[in-house]
Amino acid sequence: MQRDENVKCNKFTISSALAASASVQSLRLGKEIHGHIVRTGLDSDAVVWSALSDMYGKCGSVDEA
């Protein structure tokens, strides 16, 4: 995932990126976003966790959700 360092991600931009990943069923991209979430400390947000669960479910990886 390419990221512009001048653009700050928040729970809403991350959730949108996860929704886009889920809509095209790109588990690889979803996992990259998940890694970014963990690295940036957004992993404690309920909105982000909901989007993560949705993405993993729609990508057929329910065990990881």
pLDDT digits (tens, 9 = 90+) for 16-63: 999 999 999 999 999 999 999 999 999 999 999 999 999 999 999 887
To which residue do tokens 């979803």 refer?
A: 30
Helix 11-23 with 46-58: angle, nearest 10 deg: 10
Which of 8, 1, 9, 14 lies closest to 49, judged by CA? 14
Annotated domain spans of the chain: 11-64
**Band (9; pLDDT cuts 50, 70, 90):** confident
pTM over 0.85: no
25-51 in b/e burial notation, b at 16+ Cβ within 10 A? eebebbbebbebbeeeebeebeebbeb
Residue 57 has a pLDDT of 95
